Amino acid sequence: MTPLLVEAREHLSTSEAAEVDRLLGGIDTLAARGTIGEGKRGSLDADAVEGSTVLLARDGQGHLVGFATLQRHPASFGVEIVDSGTDPGEPVTRALLRRAGQEVERRGGGALFYWVHEAGDAEPAVATAEGFTLDRELFEMRTPLPLQSDMVDAARPIVTRPFVPGVDEEAWLEVNNRAFAGHPEQSGWDMADLRAREAEPWFDPHGLLLLELEGRLAGSCWTKVHEEVDPHEGEIFVIAVDPDFEHQGLGRALTVAGYAYLAGLGLTEGILYVDAANTAAVSLYRSLGLEVVRVDRAYVRTMPNQP
Ligand SMILES: CC(C)(COP(=O)(O)OP(=O)(O)OC[C@H]1O[C@@H](n2cnc3c(N)ncnc32)[C@H](O)[C@@H]1OP(=O)(O)O)[C@@H](O)C(=O)NCCC(=O)NCCS
């Protein structure tokens, strides 16, 4: 087997970014598209690697044969891998997984989620061989926009307002952390996590709809426009109803409001990602006409603290 060298980078140089682009260009674009970045979508550019560590795998001749992005979440780590190899033993993926695990150990240990998009037959064997077990599945759901009018009409009428940066952070964090308690990526957000998203080029406070009831924040629907795909797509990025306000029709109303906002921007394709086991959310989305178009899998391994 060719020896593989894996290097970790906080930032890619221009030439490394060009190598990565070439590698992405040479493999199935759908798989590549689903590989990098938050929301499981995007393409590798300087913005997409911000806040994540990139692991570059090179063969004995120094050619880039694969890479991984290692993302730190408040309560866990996530790794996504692009492997250009066709070797059935998947040595590139295994080397990248191993290095990702070492990086997590160096940072104090914790749960490392290995995200597999459009899973192929080899992945479970590779994940298992590296000590990972299947943790959960993520649905990509889609619908044409605008939503059908009978579904919109059935939703409880609500009035939302846009998020105001510098004012609404604390209330949003409180509702988010209450609604997503225990969720590996979405729980335990702090001010720095939220501010980092606000600094992203795609962030638009008008697309973060807040719903206030009884003088407090009852829920929110955060939308995200994907301009990197053609035609542009509108995602419901994070939706949450405060537990005190659940089962009152607000989740449905906020989903409808989010997609209405995106349709109002002229977008014709609505998407979202949801844990397959989140039956409340999945049945809500199905009842609004969304369909599952792809299933991603997360394998997990808990890494010890090994500074
Ligand atoms: C998912 C969530 C947004 C739903 O909000 P909600 O205000 O409780 O939902 P609604 O009252 O609008 O219910 C809408 C539909 O959801 C479904 N639903 C809600 N709670 C449910 C439950 N416990 N079990 C099954 N289905 C449920 C039903 O289909 C319901 O349909 P109905 O209107 O015909 O009764 C809310 O539970 C939440 O914030 N959960 C935590 C965060 C989260 O999981 N977000 C989604 C991630 S993509």
Q: Answer whether residue 29 shows pLDDT above 90.
A: no
pTM, 2 dp? 0.81
Question: Residue 278's pLDDT is what?
Answer: 94
CB 278 less than 6 A from any atom of ligand 1: yes
Q: Which domains does the chain have, with CATH numbers?
A: 5-138+297-303 (3.40.630.30), 146-267 (3.40.630.30)
Model confidence over 196-235: pLDDT tens digits?
999 999 999 999 999 999 999 999 999 999 998 889 999 9
Binning the chain into helix, strand and coil, the percentages to the nearest 5 are 35, 30, 35
The order of strands in the sheet holding 77-83 is: 5-9, 52-58, 64-72, 77-83, 110-116, 291-303, 133-144, 269-275, 233-241, 216-226, 208-213, 161-162
CB 179 less than 6 A from any atom of ligand 1: yes
Atom 29 of ligand 1: nearest residue by CA position = 284
86 pLDDT band, cuts 50/70/90, is: low
Question: Residue 277's pLDDT is what?
Answer: 93
CB 145 within 8 A of CB 47: no
Q: How many helical (H) and strand (E) elements, i.e. helices and strands, does the chain have?
A: 10, 12
CB 177 less than 6 A from any atom of ligand 1: no
CB 77 within 8 A of CB 305: no
CB 93 within 8 A of CB 48: no
Contacts of 304 (CB under 8 A, 6+ apart): 105, 109
CB 140 less than 6 A from any atom of ligand 1: no
Atom 5 of ligand 1: nearest residue by CA position = 251
Cα dihedral 115/119/125/128 (nearest 10): 20
Atom 24 of ligand 1: nearest residue by CA position = 280
CB 275 less than 6 A from any atom of ligand 1: no
What value does the mean pLDDT of the chain take? 88
Model confidence over 38-78: pLDDT tens digits?
333 333 443 445 568 999 999 999 999 999 999 988 889 99
Kindly tell me the sign of the dihedral angle through the C-alpha atoms of 219, 246, 237, 260.
negative
What percentage of the chain has pLDDT greater than the value 70?
A: 88
Model confidence over 261-296: pLDDT tens digits?
999 999 999 999 999 999 999 999 999 999 999 888
120 pLDDT band, cuts 50/70/90, is: low
Of the residues 237, 245, 254, 284, which should be mutated to test ligand 1's pocket, given the most ligand atoms within 8 Å of the CB? Answer: 284
